[in-house]
C-alpha cells in the first residue's frame, strides 16, 4: 500500500457512564478486556494490519490510563518517523467550554479533525471508535468502497434486535431495497416494525475520501453535532452515496456492565475466542515482562483464561484472570473477571464478580453477584471478612 494512503480518526470520547465504576477514572477505550488487552488494542491492531501508520484520537476526560498504555504507539507501528505518527487530541471538553463564549465558529473538535486530515496528506480517512469490540480488516472495506464508487461506506453487522443496547437505539440502517446495500435511513430500534427480528447495526466504522470527510465534517461542525461517526452522514443520505459493508465476525457493543461482563464470558466459548483472537494477525497490546503463570499442585482450573505472571493455588472456573493475580489455596472463583494485580485470599469465594485492578480480597470472604446483576468491586478496594460473621 502506498504510504499515507489511509489515515485514521479514532473517536474515543465515548459515553462510559453506564460502565461505572469501571470508567470512573478511565475512558471506555482503556477498559481492560480478555485477560491482557485494552479495548483500544482492537482498533489499533486493525490499523496495523492494514499498514495504516497515522492516526489521530479524540478524548474527553482522564486519559492517563490510555496514554500509559499506548505511549508512542510503537507497539502498533504508529511511530513511523516518515509521515506516520499518533496524534492525541485531548481535553476536548475543556475546549468546548471555552467555545461556548465564542459562537459562530467551527468548533475546535472539527477544526482539529480537518487539520489532521489535511496534514496527513492521506487519500482516505477511516473513522472508528472503540466500544464496538471487534476485529476488523480495513483493506476489504476500502476495496468495497472503491468498487461501489461510494461516498461513504459504513460497517455494520446483522444482529438480533433484542441484543441492541439502549445507546445503540439510533444506529441501525435501512437500505433502499431488500438485498441491496445503499443506506437510505439511520433509525431507532424502537421504530422498526415488530415482525423484524434482525437489524443492521452500525459499528461506527466508516471510510471515505479525505475531501468527503472534510466536506461532511465542516457541515457537521456548523450544526454543532459532536463525536459520533453517524452524525456526519445522518442528514446527508440523499446527497451522498452511502453504502453498508457487512461484518460477520465477533462483535459486542460494550455499553454497560452487563455487556462488558458478557463479552468477557463470550471468550470462554471457543468459537468466539477464535473469532476475536485467532482471526488473521494476533491482537497487539503493550507487552509486559513477567514470569509464566504458575499453577500449583493444588490448583483446580477448568474452562478459564489467564494472562501471564499469575500464581494460582485455588480453584478457578468459567473465569478470566488478568496479569499478576494471586489466588490462594482453597479460594474458589467462578464466573468472574479478575483484573491485574488482584489478590484472592485463602478460602474466599467469588461468583459473578468483576474485580477491578489491584483489589485485595482477604481470607474467607464471600462475594456474590448473579448472572443478571454482576457485582463490581472498585479498583484497589480492600475487602476483609466481617468479624464474627
Query: Within 291-310, which residues bind another protein (CB under 8 A)?
Result: 291-299, 301-309
The CB-of-267 to another protein minimum distance in angstroms stands at 8
- Tell me: does residue 260 bind another protein (CB under 8 A): no
What is the rounded CA–CA span in Å between residue 310 and residue 340? Answer: 9
- Tell me: does residue 389 bind another protein (CB under 8 A): no
Exposure b/e, 156-176, CB count within 10 A at least 16 = b: bbebeeeebbeebebbbbbbe
What is the rounded CA–CA span in Å between residue 238 and residue 55? Answer: 30
Query: Within 266-285, which residues bind another protein (CB under 8 A)?
Result: 267, 270, 273, 277-278, 282-285
The CB-of-319 to another protein minimum distance in angstroms stands at 11
Nearer to another protein by Cβ, of 175 and 277: the residue is 277
- Tell me: does residue 220 bind another protein (CB under 8 A): no
Q: What are phi and psi of 350, to 5 degrees?
A: -120, 130
Nearer to another protein by Cβ, of 141 and 284: the residue is 284
What is the rounded CA–CA span in Å between residue 63 and residue 93? Answer: 12
Chain centre distance of CA 264: 12
Q: What is the DSSP letter of 131?
A: S
The CB-of-35 to another protein minimum distance in angstroms stands at 3
The CB-of-377 to another protein minimum distance in angstroms stands at 21
Nearer to another protein by Cβ, of 39 and 320: the residue is 320
What is the rounded CA–CA span in Å between residue 23 and residue 17? Answer: 7
Beta bridge pairs of residue 152: 208, 242
Binding mask 52-91 for another protein (x = CB under 8 A): -----------------------x----------------
- Tell me: does residue 36 bind another protein (CB under 8 A): yes
- Contact (CB, 8 A) for 29 and 14: yes
CA-based torsion, 205, 17, 45, 4: positive or negative: positive
Cβ neighbours of residue 11 closer than 8 Å, sequence gap 6 or more: 57, 58, 127, 128, 129, 204, 227, 228, 229
**124 CB-contact burial (10 Å; exposed 0-12 / middle 13-18 / buried 19+):** buried
The CB-of-24 to another protein minimum distance in angstroms stands at 25
- Binding part of the chain for another protein, among 2-10, 34-42, 114-122, 349-357 by CB under 8 A, reads 34-42
Nearer to another protein by Cβ, of 114 and 267: the residue is 267
Beta bridge pairs of residue 338: 321, 355
What is the rounded CA–CA span in Å between residue 204 and residue 39? Answer: 15
- Tell me: does residue 287 bind another protein (CB under 8 A): yes
The CB-of-369 to another protein minimum distance in angstroms stands at 22
The CB-of-259 to another protein minimum distance in angstroms stands at 20
Nearer to another protein by Cβ, of 162 and 271: the residue is 271
The CB-of-285 to another protein minimum distance in angstroms stands at 6
Nearer to another protein by Cβ, of 102 and 289: the residue is 289
- Contact (CB, 8 A) for 276 and 305: no
Nearer to another protein by Cβ, of 26 and 324: the residue is 324
Residues contacting another protein: total by CB under 8 A: 36
Residues near another protein (CB under 8 A) are 34-36, 75, 267, 270, 273, 277-278, 282-285, 287-289, 291-299, 301-309, 311, 320
Amino acid at each position: 500500500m502506498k504510504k499515507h494512503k489511509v489515515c485514521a480518526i479514532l473517536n474515543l470520547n465515548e459515553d462510559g457512564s453506564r460502565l461505572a465504576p469501571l470508567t470512573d477514572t478511565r475512558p471506555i477505550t482503556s477498559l481492560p478486556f480478555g485477560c491482557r488487552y485494552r479495548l483500544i488494542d482492537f482498533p489499533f491492531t486493525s490499523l496495523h494490519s492494514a499498514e495504516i501508520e497515522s492516526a489521530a484520537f479524540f478524548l474527553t476526560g482522564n486519559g492517563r490510563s490510555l496514554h500509559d498504555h499506548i505511549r508512542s504507539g510503537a507497539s502498533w507501528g504508529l511511530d513511523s518517523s516518515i509521515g506516520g505518527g499518533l496524534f492525541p487530541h485531548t481535553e476536548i471538553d475543556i475546549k468546548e467550554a471555552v467555545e461556548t463564549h465564542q459562537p459562530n465558529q467551527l468548533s475546535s473538535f472539527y477544526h482539529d479533525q480537518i487539520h489532521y486530515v489535511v496534514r496527513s496528506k492521506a487519500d482516505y480517512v477511516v473513522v472508528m471508535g472503540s466500544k464496538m469490540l471487534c476485529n476488523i480488516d480495513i483493506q476489504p472495506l476500502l476495496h468495497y468502497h472503491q468498487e461501489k464508487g461510494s461516498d461513504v461506506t459504513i460497517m455494520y453487522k446483522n444482529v438480533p434486535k433484542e441484543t441492541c443496547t439502549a445507546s445503540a437505539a439510533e444506529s441501525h440502517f435501512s437500505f433502499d431495497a431488500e438485498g441491496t446495500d445503499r443506506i437510505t435511513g439511520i433509525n431507532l430500534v424502537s421504530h422498526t416494525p415488530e415482525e423484524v427480528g434482525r437489524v443492521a447495526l452500525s459499528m461506527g466504522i466508516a471510510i471515505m475520501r479525505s475531501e468527503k470527510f472534510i466536506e461532511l465534517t465542516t457541515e457537521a461542525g456548523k450544526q454543532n453535532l459532536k463525536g459520533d461517526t453517524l452524525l456526519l452522514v445522518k442528514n446527508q443520505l440523499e446527497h451522498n452515496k452511502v453504502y453498508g459493508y457487512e461484518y460477520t465476525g465477533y462483535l459486542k457493543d460494550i455499553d454497560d456492565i452487563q455487556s462488558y461482563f458478557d463479552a468477557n464470558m463470550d471468550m470462554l466459548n471457543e468459537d468466539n475466542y477464535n473469532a476475536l483472537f485467532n482471526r488473521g494477525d494476533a491482537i497487539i497490546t503493550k507487552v509486559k515482562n513477567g514470569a509464566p503463570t504458575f499453577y500449583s499442585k493444588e490448583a483446580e482450573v477448568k474452562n478459564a483464561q489467564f494472562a501471564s505472571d499469575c500464581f494460582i493455588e485455588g480453584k478457578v472456573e468459567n473465569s478470566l484472570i488478568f496479569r499478576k493475580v494471586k489466588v490462594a489455596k482453597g479460594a474458589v472463583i467462578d464466573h468472574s473477571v479478575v483484573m491485574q494485580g488482584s489478590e484472592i485470599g485463602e478460602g474466599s469465594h467469588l461468583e459473578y464478580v468483576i474485580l477491578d485492578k489491584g483489589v485485595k480480597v482477604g481470607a474467607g470472604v464471600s462475594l456474590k453477584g448473579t448472572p443478571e446483576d454482576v457485582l463490581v468491586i472498585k479498583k484497589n478496594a480492600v475487602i476483609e471478612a466481617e468479624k464474627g460473621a
